[in-house]
Amino acid sequence: MRRTFLLFGLLLAFSLSAIAQQKLSVHWEELTAPDFAQAISRSGGTCLLPFGIIEKHGPHLPLGSDLFQARYAALHAAEQEYAVVFPEYYFGQIFEAQHQPGTVAYSSHLQLELLQETTDEMARNGCKKVIIVNGHGGNEYLLPFFAQSQLEKQHDYVVYVLGLVEPPPGGPAKKTSVDMHAGESETSSMMIARPDLVHIDRAGSQSGADQARLQLPGNLYTAIWWYARFPNHYSGEGAAATRELGQYEMDNWVKAIVNSIKAVKADQTSLRLQNEFFEKAKHPLDT
């Protein structure tokens, strides 16, 4: 009889700890401190930093659209392949929308310093593999530079950047050809991420047409190009959006993040080579 009780007690303890394991939130800020330690161990030290922005998204989408979409995709991916997801982060590059209401544009040095301190703090808490999941076009310049600048001085962690994910061909046919910001694709994705904040009836109240006001060769970059083409900070036609296209784009984004989490968990090489590199960088003449 006593043995049966013991066995029953053990089984109960096992199943309770299994339930506790299953119920670990992927949201950093929802975990208790003891659960956070468990979450880091369960994720193999792999954490996601979904990176949004606060900027105008046409006349019909919320200012936080990129943050909502990046978090939606990252959280769904982390549910499939466990990783800890950092809280809301939107301190990126958005100078090009300063002429529009509601834009929050931090200085360039603060963007870099805050991001460095954020990944440093993540790593100090056990996130030795940080995947930045980008949700905003204007961060596509900032993030490769930030990733590259991780070779400035030695860190005990690795930063990976997943840039904007283009869905593979074969999805629902698109109706519009100009579609870079708050247009058909992005409005469709928002219909999945936050349908309650999509005001599709207002999508046609401003023009998202390409005004083509600056003629330069394609390989010659200048910052005002975006304003020259899309002064309303709107590119495309949000009214063409459908839930089907949004689901297709979101599913592919989630899949790309899941693949990244798996690859990063399996990566035993980057940190080793990073350490080897810094060891050699101390005495380059001997290399």
Interface with Zn ion (CB under 5 A): 65-66
Strand partners, 95: none
Q: In the structure encoding, which two tokens stand for residue 125, read together?
A: 């808490």
Closest distance between Zn ion and the C-beta of residue 53, in Å?
7
25 vs 254: CA distance, rounded Å: 18
Q: Which is nearer to Zn ion, 48 or 61 (CB)?
A: 61
Closest distance between Zn ion and the C-beta of residue 107, in Å?
21
Q: Which is nearer to Zn ion, 155 or 181 (CB)?
A: 181
Closest distance between Zn ion and the C-beta of residue 252, in Å?
16
Closest distance between Zn ion and the C-beta of residue 66, in Å?
4
Q: Which is nearer to Zn ion, 43 or 139 (CB)?
A: 139
Q: Which residue is nearest to Zn ion (CB)?
A: 66
Torsion from C-alpha of 53, 250, 62, 28, nearest 10 degrees: -50
233: left (phi over 0), alpha (psi -120 to 50) or beta: left
Q: Which is nearer to Zn ion, 66 or 184 (CB)?
A: 66
- Give Cα 248 to chain centroid, integer Å: 18
Torsion from C-alpha of 109, 113, 118, 123, nearest 10 degrees: 140
Q: Which is nearer to Zn ion, 65 or 111 (CB)?
A: 65
Q: Which is nearer to Zn ion, 66 or 81 (CB)?
A: 66
Closest distance between Zn ion and the C-beta of residue 205, in Å?
18
Tell me 45's DSSP state. Answer: T
Buried b / exposed e over 240-278, threshold 16 CB at 10 Å, is bbeeebbbbbbebbbbbbbebbeebbeeeeeeeebeeee
Q: Which is nearer to Zn ion, 53 or 84 (CB)?
A: 53
**Neighbouring residues of 191: CB distance < 8 A, sequence distance ≥ 6:** 198, 241, 242, 243, 246
Closest distance between Zn ion and the C-beta of residue 186, in Å?
5
Closest distance between Zn ion and the C-beta of residue 32, in Å?
34
Q: Which is nearer to Zn ion, 81 or 184 (CB)?
A: 184
| Sign, CA torsion 275/279/285/287 | negative
Lookup result for tokens 């209401």: 101
Side-chain-side CA neighbours of 82 within 13 Å: the count stands at 14
Closest distance between Zn ion and the C-beta of residue 111, in Å?
17
